Structure 1
Amino acid sequence: MLATPTDPREYSHLEGIKLVASDMDNTLVGSSGELPDAIWETIRALRERGILFVPASGRQVTTLAEMFEPVAAGMPLISANGGLLARDGQILYSVRVHPDIVREVVHIIRDLAHQGVDLGILLIGEKASYTERTDQRFVTEVQRYFHQLEVLEDILDAEDEIVKLAIYSFDGLDQVMPRIQHYDGTHSLIFSADDWVDIQGQNVDKGVALEELQKILGISRDETVVFGDYLNDTELMHAGTHSFAVANAHPDIIKAARYVAPSCEDQGVISVLQQIVAAR
């Protein structure tokens, strides 16, 4: 059930905005999987007014750079749920997962697969993403989010610094969580959807990465607008004073946000950004 969007008159007065950070899937991007056509002119209009647009996603950084290629120059990219922050190919902030933990988790997933659970794991590194599951059904699913995907015979042979372990299960996560729950507390366990769970370094989230970017740019929470829809956007909602949950968001994100934007299918992020542009 969709939440009721906030009356635009409640946020049409927003002034002094310098930074906009938006989640991607089911927030900016709807069921088509494509960016809204209006995103390009909207980002350019924001820039003309001194406002920087930043994607904040669980996707890998190269995927984001590819998606936003027409306007990517100078655009900071928050990727891997906040595990990696980059701009123009330069890493500004990165939280790596220790190789011992990578090895442990890969062996857990292999064991679950041996028991018949229909799942797979990706290692998201600073350079690319890696998997050892080769069937087209799995590869098609994960390439929606991780375009630069390398298939290895042994995923542990990846020569990269790993910032995220992404587990996808066609059978849901009920059989997965009991095997990885013990990492909670020492690491970040992040649900990006009902069938995706990520293991990352401690205190990794989109909100922390956005705060790092705010420090680098000298921009405050009060000068920041954020958009999100799912549980991995919770901390993002707290990193910007002007927080928007899209109408299709998880109830907990609706509660955490200051405002509700129209749904992703109604291009709610674009609608709000156009209000901000008009106010300048």
Structure 2
Amino acid sequence: MTVQVPPTGLSTPERRVVFLDVDGTYLTHTGVAPDSARRAVAEARAVGHLVLLCTGRSPSELVALDDGSFDGVVAGAGAYAALADGTVVRHETIAPELLGRLLDLLDELGAAYLLETNGGLYGTPDAPATFERLLRGDEPDVELGPGLTDLVARVRTGVGIRRDDVNKVMLLDSPVPLDEVRAVVGDTMTVLRSSTARLGPRSAEIQTRGVHKGVAVEAVLSHLGVPRDASVGFGDGLNDVEMLRYVGVGVAMGGAHPDAVAAADWTTGRPEEDGLAVAFARLGLTTSA
């Protein structure tokens, strides 16, 4: 485990707002939250810090984690943000005309994809099987944690998926290089390689250009009246880059994408190496790793 620690921790002992990516950060890549991570979040909250999930998933994909352990959520990679008391800070869905243009392309390609909304996860007929196959990768017998098995079980097919409440589209194992998708929709939408590493290099997260975790973090801090330098962010994927750049202290997890590492102030270990707990302790958010 490689840990790069700043000369000092946070500049003051005041309350911090922590933004925590899910897959590859709070959860391992097989969908399990290490006990050390659960304890670190609970201890940080117990002493007055706020801890929010900050994920590419939409709220409908977070049911397995919705147990009162967090103070709010940034979801849909910045499309949605809400506090635990139900206050919605922001919500920006994909405009129907943009979504239609994208889905026309994906249908023409014969691609499997998922539409992520606050109320449900909707997919093409082949999406659930493709999703599970990719999650298992070259380990067909691997035991996936509830954080991932719940996702597959929640995919709804056979219903109208041309919707007006879509936060983000998940393209699964694209039949063409992602650059070909970008060439068609890149003027209005961003096409990022999926932040869930197990989905592979041809899976992508697609959403309205200009919507990202950084703008949602800014909105949450403004709503709370908390200065930027009192925020901390943890992440590992491409959709974490703007968040890691924006927060007062950005921490990249072990195994993070190089762009996430470059955007962060320092790095910690992987989730399964207790990387989150180590970083919480180093920053003074908790008293022990």
Moved more, 243-252 or 5-14: 5-14
Using the alignment, how far apart are the partners of 2:30 and 2:63 within structure 1?
Answer: 19
TM-score (structure 2 length as normaliser): 0.81
Q: How big is each residue's C-alpha offset from its partner over 1:209-261, in whole Å with a ceiling of 9 and x where there is no partner?
A: 11110011111221111111121111011121211111211222222211111
Is 1:251 matched up with 2:258?
Answer: yes
Which consecutive aligned stretches of 4+ in structure 1 deviate over 4 angstroms post-superposition? 141-145
Contact 1:132 1:153 in 2 (8 A): no
Using the alignment, how far apart are the partners of 1:244 and 1:162 within structure 2?
Answer: 29
Return the offset for 1:13.
Answer: 6.8
Is 1:86 matched up with 2:88?
Answer: no
Q: Which residue of 2 aligns with 1:269?
A: 276
Cα pair distance change 1:43/1:243, threshold 3 Å: same
Please point out which of 47, 61, 69 is paired with 1:49. Answer: 47
Is 1:166 matched up with 2:170?
Answer: yes
Moved more, 25-34 or 130-139: 130-139
Aligned residues: 266
Using the alignment, how far apart are the partners of 1:273 and 1:206 within structure 2?
Answer: 21
Using the alignment, how far apart are the partners of 2:114 and 2:54 within structure 1?
Answer: 19
Contact 2:26 2:37 in 1 (8 A): no
Please point out which of 180, 188, 191 is paired with 2:190. Answer: 188
Return the offset for 1:96.
Answer: 1.2
Supply the RMSD in Å over aligned alpha carbons: 2.6
TM-score (structure 1 length as normaliser): 0.84
Return the offset for 1:271.
Answer: 1.5
Q: How big is each residue's C-alpha offset from its partner over 1:3-35, in whole Å with a ceiling of 9 and x where there is no partner?
A: x31147643776334111111112222233111
Cα pair distance change 1:32/1:187, threshold 3 Å: closer
Using the alignment, how far apart are the partners of 1:123 and 1:76 within structure 2?
Answer: 22
Please point out which of 21, 33, 38 is paired with 2:19. Answer: 21
| Aligned sequence identity (%) | 21
Q: Which runs of 5+ in 2 are unaligned?
A: 136-147, 196-200
Return the offset for 1:112.
Answer: 0.9
